[in-house]
Amino acid sequence: MKKIIAGLLLTAGVLLASGGDAGVSGQRDLNVAAVVMFLIFVAATLGITYWAAKRTKTAKDFYTAGGGITGFQNGMAIAGDYMSAASFLGISGLVYLKGYDGLIYSIGFLVGWPVILFLVAEKLRNLGKYTFADVASFRLRQKPIRILAAFGSIATVILYLIAQMVGSGKLIQVLFGLPYEAAVILVGVLMIAYVTFGGMLATTWVQIIKAGLLLSGATFMAIAVMYHFGFSFESLFEKAVEVHKNHEAIMSPGGLVSDPVSAISLGIALMFGTAGLPHILMRFFTVADAKAARKSVFYATGFIGYFYILTFIIGFGAIVLVSQNPEYLDAAKGTLIGGNNMAAIHLSHAVGGNIFLGFISAVAFATILAVVSGLTLAGASAISHDLYANAFASGKVDELREMRVSKIATVVLGIITIILGIAFEKQNIAFMVGLAFAIAASANFPILFLSIYWKNLTTRGAVIGGTLGLATAVALVILGPIVWVQILGNAEAIFPYKYPALFSVTVAFIGIWFFSITDKSEQAQKECEAFEAQDIRCQTGIGAEGAAQH
């Protein structure tokens, strides 16, 4: 631990030094406030990690913070997982660029939450222990289901991690003037430190603090924008329509969803994908019972909805206050310095000067750290709990050993992420988050959902159907417009839609249904018979995992 802190102080020194260099070379002036606030955040979170490390003794502590997180805290943490730097900067940037379309996107991301609450959250809590594979394999054969679920989880986590890493490397490069590789390594090292030493407890508190900072910062920005317009939405929108190059068009739906198939497919990907993201599902095991699980989603939905309303105001504020100011524009290209995703960052400077710019930059950095830590923990749990402890050792494994494996897995995943983050620097990674959502919606979600609700689900059905869903999602993304045309340079896409979820989710459900009902084996019969006992536990929590007693 001490060595890590020393290493980080060294990195921080490099950060300051190289920031200074970059200022000289004209990449961007060093924002001392940003660096100082970021260092305070790192020091505070390492302090929390140290505190959490002392409380993380058992596997249950490591994976689920001992099950002792409250509904409100977990709601903040879930919202924090969802409010990534990509969604903060990406959605405000989308509003800045296209106006109303940004809101359509936010709504799609939000509406999955009520559905998760009504159909999945409390049942997940009552059935599971550490990972969603616990639920999926509750009455099915452990080995094949665990392997498939772990594969789905790891694929989702790695794609998501690469997207976050590449985005963060570029963001930090612009904000702090740090070289891309150094930024990726810094994020990777901090993330490994939080997760290996502090487990879920540290990861959750880092996420809560960051969610609080991000919500406060965004609130301040939105209020500053509204203050500028005398708290009148009419005058904000009027001015935005006047200065935006698309004028009235920014007030109505544009090209984001153009045809019904894409519209429905995007909706399915966002809704079911959210319900299949391993790092989000894992959060439901950190609370004491079904009651707290419900409260978590209630608070999370509130925070996320509020956050999206803020990003909408921020995007429109940036149209008026940033796009007209030559200070923020690249004179040669006439676009924003650093691209459209920097709209919120520039706006923070426009409304709050250098100090507030520093605050928002530090928060953006903190956001990246918190989100990648949650992802890494979910990935490591899939490796240690699902693959190692349950699939290969058949559950006969010492708890401490399992925990050690998951710490090793964290370090390995962290290193892989750093390497891939650097390797993908110049690649087009736009498809990665979409693919992560498609896999989560087409492999993880159908198995999880049917294992809870459908009596006749069998191991054979789940494995074949889930694999088909996963393969279809991957194949259609490769053959679709983004990878096939934009990346591989072919003239025309073989699969015409950007979002494959409508098709891949359908394939998964039909596959699971067909290979379950035609499964006449003795094992299948046993699995169907076990449904009733499972359902009773699901409904009442009888026999469910309780919170650890400390």
Partner 1 sequence: MMDKETIERIKQNPDYQELVKKRSGFAWKLAIAMLVVYYAFILTIAFSPKTLGTPIGDGVITVGIPVGIFIILFAFLLTGIYTWRANSEFDALERKVKEELREEIGA
What is the binding site for partner 1 (CB under 8 A)? 100, 103-104, 106-108, 110-111, 113-115, 117-119, 122, 233-234, 237-238, 241, 248, 251-254, 257-260, 262-264, 266-267, 271, 291, 294-295, 297-298, 301-302, 305, 308-309, 532-533, 536, 539-543
Q: 3-class DSSP state for residue 329?
A: strand
Q: 3-class DSSP state for residue 448?
A: helix
Question: Tell me, what DSSP letter sits at residue 336?
Answer: E
State in angstroms the smallest separation of the CB of 296 from partner 1: 9
State in angstroms the smallest separation of the CB of 262 from partner 1: 8
174/241 with CB nearer partner 1: 241
Is residue 493 within 8 Å of residue 451, measured between CB atoms? no
Q: 3-class DSSP state for residue 500?
A: coil
80/267 with CB nearer partner 1: 267
Is residue 108 within 8 Å of residue 266, measured between CB atoms? yes
State in angstroms the smallest separation of the CB of 181 from partner 1: 39
State in angstroms the smallest separation of the CB of 141 from partner 1: 16
Residue 34 φ then ψ, to 5°: -60, -45
State in angstroms the smallest separation of the CB of 219 from partner 1: 16
State in angstroms the smallest separation of the CB of 127 from partner 1: 14
Q: 3-class DSSP state for residue 287?
A: strand
120/443 with CB nearer partner 1: 120
State in angstroms the smallest separation of the CB of 229 from partner 1: 13
279/295 with CB nearer partner 1: 295
Element holding 335 (H helix, E strand): strand 335-336
Tell me, what amino acid is at 504?
S
Q: Taking Cα atoms as reference points, which of 508, 428, 512 lies closest to residue 474?
A: 508
Q: Taking Cα atoms as reference points, which of 371, 305, 292, 377 lies closest to residue 121?
A: 292
9/309 with CB nearer partner 1: 309
The H-assigned helical ranges of 384-458 are 399-423, 430-439, 445-453
Is residue 60 within 8 Å of residue 66, measured between CB atoms? yes
> Distances in Å between the alpha carbon of 532 and those of 125, 139, 521, 538, 549?
17, 10, 19, 10, 30
State in angstroms the smallest separation of the CB of 275 from partner 1: 11
17/533 with CB nearer partner 1: 533
264/412 with CB nearer partner 1: 264
Number of Cβ within 10 Å of residue 3's Cβ equals 7
Count helices and strands in the chain by DSSP H and E runs? 23, 2
Buried b (16+ CB within 10 A) or exposed e, 348-364: bbbbbeeebbbbbbbbb
Dist. CA 411–CA 86, nearest whole Å: 24
407/455 with CB nearer partner 1: 455
112/217 with CB nearer partner 1: 112
State in angstroms the smallest separation of the CB of 268 from partner 1: 10
28/537 with CB nearer partner 1: 537
State in angstroms the smallest separation of the CB of 309 from partner 1: 6
